[in-house]
Amino acid sequence: MLGIGELATMAQEQLPIVLIIMNDKGYGVMRGIQEKYFSDRQYYNELLTPSFSQLAQSMGITALTITKTSDFKSTLQQAIALKQPVVVEVLMDNIGKMNFSGPPQKKLF
């Protein structure tokens, strides 16, 4: 999970960083592994998560929210154009789950 220190540094130093948070309210990768390899027995992957947009705004950081894939490109372009700290929160429950692709199939080196 995102540490609050990263947001505080972005705000204090006014770093022109666009932080994209894929908010799936838990550990989506772990959900996929448990679904694929453990007969969909789900344990310890649901988290109580804050509104990251509101958290960013409380520190003076501009926050944008994406609720559908068709908005991703325009929202990201808007965030980059601001040239200031921006948090883009992607609400994954509206977009759909990410499928687990499995471990690497071949070695790179």
CB 92 within 8 A of CB 98: yes
Domain boundaries 5-94, CATH class:
alpha beta
* 76-86 mean pLDDT: 98
DSSP state of 103: S
- CA-CA distance, 24 to 45, in Å (whole number)? 10
| Beta carbons within 8 Å of 81's beta carbon, 6+ residues apart | none
- CA-CA distance, 7 to 54, in Å (whole number)? 12
Pick the residue with more confidence: 21 or 41? 21
Q: Per-residue pLDDT tens for 25-75?
A: 766 566 666 666 666 666 566 677 788 899 999 999 999 999 998 999 999
Report the pLDDT value the prediction gives residue 102, as an integer from 0 to 100: 61
β-sheet bridge partners, residue 19 = 87
Phi-psi region of 66 (alpha: psi -120 to 50; beta: other; left: phi over 0): beta
